[in-house]
Structure 1
Amino acid sequence: MDVSLHSHLTQVLPIEDISQVGHARRTAQKLAEQAGFDEADCGRVALVTTELASNILKHAHSGELHVRVLPGDVCGDASAAVPGVEIIAIDRGKGFDVQNCMADGFSSRGTQGIGLGSILRQAQVFDVHSDARGSALLARFFPRKSVVKDLRMGITQQSLHDDPACGDVWEVAVKGQQVAIMMIDGLGHGPEAEEAGMAGARVFMQNPFADPGVLLEDLHFDMRGSRGGAVALALFDGASGKLRFIGIGNIGATLIGDDKTRGIPSHPGIVGLQYRKIPPMDYADCTGQLLIMFSDGLQSRWNLRDYPGLMYRHPAIIAAVLHRDYCRGRDDVTVLVMALETLDD
């Protein structure tokens, strides 16, 4: 799987009233049309969006839909990239029994009980987490005629006060067994912070699989004259299971495995202005673990193990739940969750 993913804001659609269900359906359907879906595939997206939004109102009274376009890779033909559509329903309701609700005919509210079973049949990728803090449901769609590999990565990126300019910038590149990740938090927020982040992103995209220490120096050179920002670079080699990481500033990073959690430190400084040169750090035996990276718009005092079973859910579910419960609400915020695993070519 060879693919490049570029920074873009997550659309957040509040669901607090029945009138917002139609708006959410039209928004998601328009995204599908823009992604090149045919009429039948757009209909699948519209149907599931309606189900998810309606379920929020029925069971949690209010919540949000997070929607975005995501790239895909057709198996056997890396030149024929197919975009998809991702929809995540997130709420703070009382939760539900996932196993029971997956069966057609089961309903906790006296309805026909066809919602979750219908979503499972319509979406190529489906996952759900529910506990006493609320629920999150993921549906990913690609054209039915395509056979697409799902990249087990989740990301949510939102700007302060829904500003069209976001000072958080991220990039992900996958080539063979390697995954390269960049996250930048431009100093402050707004257009000038975004300009600083994009200056670094342009350098990263030229050679994303370079050694992170060398790449950081290149970012520093090209970010001079801007506000500068915090930068984190990660390079995972699926063949060896090794992660190489370097971070300057307030980008948080954590490795989570079945039996342990490892915090990954960043160092003081501002890339583009001044920082002390340091070598990257290597982490062995990372295959099968989760890498979570986040800007300082997210609080750092969270523990994934406080959510029973969440660490085994799709990374997109994890990113959405962390954003729901730990967003500070006074800065741009980005949460990226990647399952580090051996990738098929």
Structure 2
Amino acid sequence: MRLLRAGAQTHEIPIDDASRVGQVRRVAAQVAQRAGFDEEDTGRVALVATELATNVLKHAGRGVMQVQAIAGDGGEGVELVAIDRGAGFDYVACLADGMSTSGTRGIGLGAVQRQAQVVDLFSDARGSVVMARFFPRGGTYRDVRYGASQRALGGALECGDGWGIAWTGTQCSVVVVDGLGHGPLAHEAANAATRAFAEAGHADPATTMDALHAAMSGTRGGAVAIAAYDAAPGTMRFAGIGNISGALHSPDGSRGLASHPGIVGVQYRRAQSFDYADAAGKLLVLHSDGVNTRWSLRDYPGLAARHPAVIAAVLMRDFDRGRDDATVVVVALGGTR
């Protein structure tokens, strides 16, 4: 079965006074209900949303909560990400393994662990990110190790960026698109691209790019990057048109992904796929030009080992330019848990 998530804009609620805690709880419950959660599972999400928002106020003074529906291997889930710029804490001491908490350390993580199926976090002197993922307890679901963070310029309701992920268990395809400019017309272009991606299947990225080009014709067009990973040989193919930044990251360093100039939906010379061997176990990071390119995971010791959703949130927090729509997508190639 083909797992697909055509990314919607992340709900982001500022946490700057006590009244925001109730707002966070309501938004989280609404997203859970739309994802098909029953009353009990919705209550779990709302409880943790309240706990995380309260902790941000108590320990950092202010921050934001990101809420979005996510795709899991077996059904839809809900993700909460609490982000702040506080003093940080010893997150290693809070983790029994790479994915779950071992104690509260005075910040309520024990309650989060008891309610959420997936918990991970990162903290340093620049602030903290705590992520919790939920799936209905009545079913069998596996977490897919991807993360996405998206922010529209100025808090607009429509974002000119788009993204999507398709997963078959052994194959993974990812798209990130940046509609030209921002606002409703850029949003229209991005939507045309993600709809075409959903219909493309796990095709060669260059072939998929041509399909997106046809679908975006008549719109403003935009920049597009498409990656396709196959777990059997452990290789990835990539095609890019325009200024979507992409790289494969490993403990040995990073390798940039090659893109060609042009505007998908308007004009480009031709799409070409490039092969990247030995991609298994590496992190794929794609982001639009609303995110500054001058970052390195090596400046954040330990971050590369965290869940991709935590990595995406940290990069968005620290490198959003604030002058355009911004999107970060991170995928652990070969990863479900």
TM-score band, normalised by the shorter chain? over 0.9
Cα deviations by residue, 1:53-104 (Å, 9 ceiling, x for unpaired): 1111111100010001113333xxxxxxx32110000000010012445554
In the alignment, the residues of structure 2 paired with residue 18 and residue 342 of structure 1 have an alpha-carbon distance, to the nearest angstrom, of 38
Match of 2:304 among 288, 304, 311: 311
In the alignment, the residues of structure 2 paired with residue 278 and residue 32 of structure 1 have an alpha-carbon distance, to the nearest angstrom, of 39
Q: Which amino acid aligns with 2:171?
A: Q
In the alignment, the residues of structure 2 paired with residue 37 and residue 250 of structure 1 have an alpha-carbon distance, to the nearest angstrom, of 38
The answer to whether the 8 A contact 2:6-2:198 is kept is no
Cα deviations by residue, 1:225-269 (Å, 9 ceiling, x for unpaired): 221111111110011111100101010001001212101121211
Aligned residue number for residue 176 of structure 2: 183
TM-score, normalized by length of structure 2?
0.94
Q: Across the two proteins, how many residue pairs are aligned to each other?
A: 331
In the alignment, the residues of structure 1 paired with residue 63 and residue 336 of structure 2 have an alpha-carbon distance, to the nearest angstrom, of 35
For structure 2, the residue ranges without an aligned partner over 5 or more in a row are 95-100
Cα deviations by residue, 1:140-194 (Å, 9 ceiling, x for unpaired): 0111112211000000112112222211111211124111111111110111112
Q: Which amino acid aligns with 1:33?
A: Q
Whose radius of gyration is greater, 1 or 2?
A: 1
Aligned residue number for residue 217 of structure 2: 224
Q: Report the secondary structure of 2:330's partner residue.
A: strand
Aligned residue number for residue 79 of structure 1: none
1:68-79 superposed matches below 5 A: 68-74=68-74
In the alignment, the residues of structure 2 paired with residue 20 and residue 332 of structure 1 have an alpha-carbon distance, to the nearest angstrom, of 24
Superposition deviation, residue 278 in structure 1: 4.6
335-344 or 189-198: bigger deviation: 335-344
In the alignment, the residues of structure 2 paired with residue 198 and residue 57 of structure 1 have an alpha-carbon distance, to the nearest angstrom, of 36
In the alignment, the residues of structure 1 paired with residue 204 and residue 44 of structure 2 have an alpha-carbon distance, to the nearest angstrom, of 43
The answer to whether the 8 A contact 2:144-2:335 is kept is no
- Alignment pair present for 1:248 and 2:241: yes
Superposition deviation, residue 5 in structure 1: 0.3
Aligned residue number for residue 126 of structure 1: 119
Superposition deviation, residue 105 in structure 1: 6.5
- Alignment pair present for 1:275 and 2:268: yes
1:77-226 superposed matches below 5 A: 82-101=75-94, 104=103, 106-107=105-106, 115-226=108-219
In the alignment, the residues of structure 2 paired with residue 38 and residue 215 of structure 1 have an alpha-carbon distance, to the nearest angstrom, of 37
Q: Report the secondary structure of 1:12's partner residue.
A: strand
Aligned residue number for residue 110 of structure 1: none
Aligned residue number for residue 58 of structure 1: 58
Aligned residue number for residue 42 of structure 2: 42
In the alignment, the residues of structure 2 paired with residue 91 and residue 342 of structure 1 have an alpha-carbon distance, to the nearest angstrom, of 27
In the alignment, the residues of structure 1 paired with residue 193 and residue 33 of structure 2 have an alpha-carbon distance, to the nearest angstrom, of 32
- Runs of 4+ aligned residues of structure 1 deviating over 3 Å after TM superposition are 99-106
Aligned residue number for residue 340 of structure 1: 333
Percent identical residues: 52
247-256 or 259-268: bigger deviation: 259-268
TM-score, normalized by length of structure 1?
0.92
Match of 1:266 among 249, 259, 268: 259
In the alignment, the residues of structure 1 paired with residue 188 and residue 7 of structure 2 have an alpha-carbon distance, to the nearest angstrom, of 13
In the alignment, the residues of structure 1 paired with residue 36 and residue 283 of structure 2 have an alpha-carbon distance, to the nearest angstrom, of 32
In the alignment, the residues of structure 2 paired with residue 64 and residue 201 of structure 1 have an alpha-carbon distance, to the nearest angstrom, of 27
The answer to whether the 8 A contact 1:28-1:45 is kept is yes
Q: Which amino acid aligns with 2:6?
A: H
Q: Which amino acid aligns with 1:211?
A: D
The answer to whether the 8 A contact 1:249-1:268 is kept is yes
Q: Report the secondary structure of 2:334's partner residue.
A: coil
54-63 or 335-344: bigger deviation: 335-344
In the alignment, the residues of structure 2 paired with residue 201 and residue 39 of structure 1 have an alpha-carbon distance, to the nearest angstrom, of 32
In the alignment, the residues of structure 1 paired with residue 102 and residue 246 of structure 2 have an alpha-carbon distance, to the nearest angstrom, of 38
